[in-house]
Chains A and B, each alone.
Chain A
């Protein structure tokens, strides 16, 4: 167990739990709208960053790096869609969801659908699909959280999983959506700094972008192509289209993302035009993808896809 990493992790958990307690004292539990939507008073900056933070799932921090480690620059197709997902989401449905959900008095996206399209079947189908699909999604996030924590701390996986899940549940129950939004805000800043740090350190470690790519080519030249290792996806435009769309239009249907629109403060504010998601995703997607490619050049013998997520920062960043 790395005690320095553990100390920072404990500090991080203390901060998010404190945010949960602060949200509770701020009246998050006074009524249902306060608990579920933060009273629809969450500002544009926090809305923008919580939107991005909640969209940047375990895939982005473990899966994207692993994909790039296995298939090189092919992973850029996913990043290409992901970079614009936030602004597409805000520009197309943000303002509309905020206005319509308030007009219809909806506190959840399922309630919104039920009132927008009145039918007993609407709630049944929407709730059924949400519970079924989000169960797997949330499970994947929990596993990613546990694996990520186990990788960086050296704790057993089951301990890491329990701690990560417990902290999330506690701060969510304490402060409802307000706690979630502000912890997301804090987390997104941590993620942004971390990702940019890894990017800069990786480039410095490998001697520049040109050197990094030359080293990748030495492992397997096909990793530099946009078609994957051994050009396995060459000409598969349907797969390419799926990779582009899954994280660009995919965001718009996620209930936990739609909730961010509904909770944003005042329709007259500039939230829907906030440039933050744009800069946030621009900064995070390519580095995450690239930092998965570059370890393949410095450790070609590794066959563990999750290796880049922990080993790249450990190898490239200065030890604390």
Chain B
């Protein structure tokens, strides 16, 4: 892609994709955080 070697393309597209997946996972895991803290002082 864009005249880049396959390894460079993999790094260019794969790293952001991995972090996007991490973020989605974090958003899913933390969806109850606000509800959990309602009863805290």
Contacts and interface: CB of A to CB of B under 8 A. Distances in A.
Interface in A69-121: 73, 76-77, 79-80, 83-84, 87-88, 91, 95
Interface string A197-211: 000000000000110
Given A79-B15, A273-B33, A286-B16, A73 B26 contact: no
A135 B2 CA distance: 42
Interface residues of B, number: 23
Contacts of B11: 73, 76-77, 80, 226
Question: In terms of DSSP, what is the predominant structure of the interface of chain A?
Answer: helix
B27 A273 contact: yes
B12 A76 contact: yes
Given A268-B34, A268-B37, A273-B30, A225 B7 contact: yes
A214 interface: yes
B9 to A, nearest CB: 10
Contacts of A83: 15-16, 19
Of all A-B residue pairs in the complex, the 7 with the closest CB atoms, nearest first, are A80-B15, A84-B19, A209-B2, A213-B3, A91-B26, A73-B8, A210-B3
A19 to B, nearest CB: 30
User: Chain B's interface: helix, strand, loop or mixed, by majority?
Assistant: helix
- Chain A: interface residue count, which band? 20 to 34
Interface in B15-32: 15-16, 18-20, 22-23, 26-27, 30
Contacts of A84: 15, 18-19, 22-23
Between A210, A214, A269, A278, the greatest number of chain B beta carbons within 10 A of the residue's beta carbon is seen for: A278
Contacts of A80: 11, 15
A217 interface: yes
A79 B5 CA distance: 18
Given A76-B12, A226-B11, 16 more contacts: A73-B4, A73-B8, A73-B11, A209-B3, A210-B3, A214-B3, A225-B7, A226-B7, A226-B8, A267-B37, A268-B38, A269-B34, A272-B30, A275-B23, A282-B16, A286-B12
